[in-house]
Amino acid sequence: MPQVLVLYLGSMTLRSLCLMAFAGMVTLCLRRVAIRHAVWTVALGSMMLLPIADTLVPTTAVPRSIRQIARQPSFLILTEGAKPSVQAAPEMVANGHSSGGTNYDWWQITLMIYASITGLLLLRTGIAHWRVWRLKRTSPQVETPAFNEMLEALEFRRRSPKLVESSLVRVPVTVGFFKPVVLLPQVWHSWSAWDLRAVLAHELTHVHRADWA
């Protein structure tokens, strides 16, 4: 693997650590959980977009003097009765850069690996969102006086949540940001009134704080 690629990967790691450190310092000054979650989401997204940003940002021209110093030297071989010929440096032959060696495009290999991992993660995220969307649409809505009382007390206007039940969940969970839905397991009918109000208060707190789900 060429040294340039190793240096680039090291630069990516260093910049990612700086982004995480900056996000950590910002979240220390924030109290709202939703805003802290948004900061970490932006930081993680920025880490994934670093290679794309490097391709979009114009490169800085390297001075000619530095290019001449960094250029790999060649040896001029003069033989009696023959024309001058240029032979590659021993370092190039040792590194597999001779005409008969096999050269690998490490940049393309790295890009393919990065794109494959990113594609798998995006596919997994897309499948998870599709399953949640399907769960919200197929779960029947339920009514309970405790839930209606809490909605009136919290005075939800634009983001009024909906209460549904499903056999696919084992614990209460709240999903959705613009159209939040509180999912209850089917065993909620056996809960006491106190337990039900405690669960609903916890889930509605997520909706009221605009926590991301």
Note the pLDDT tens digit of each residue in 31-83.
877 788 888 888 888 887 787 777 777 666 555 655 555 555 544 444 555 55
What is the C-alpha separation between 164 and 143, in angstroms, rounded? 8
The residue among 72, 76, 73, 75 whose CA lies nearest residue 84 is 76
pLDDT average, residue stretch 80-89 = 50
Of the given ranges (3-12, 20-29, 92-101), which has the lowest mean pLDDT?
92-101
pLDDT on residue 76? 46
Q: Is 37 helix (H, G, I), strand (E, B) or coil?
A: helix
> Is the CA virtual torsion 43, 47, 48, 52 positive or negative?
positive
Average pLDDT, the chain: 77
How would you classify the pairing of strands 181-185 and 173-175?
antiparallel
Q: pLDDT > 70: what percent of the chain?
A: 74
Q: Per DSSP, what are the bridge partners of residue 202?
A: none
Q: Where are the beta strands (DSSP E) in the chain?
A: 74-77, 85-88, 162-166, 173-175, 181-185
Q: What is the pTM of this model?
A: 0.57
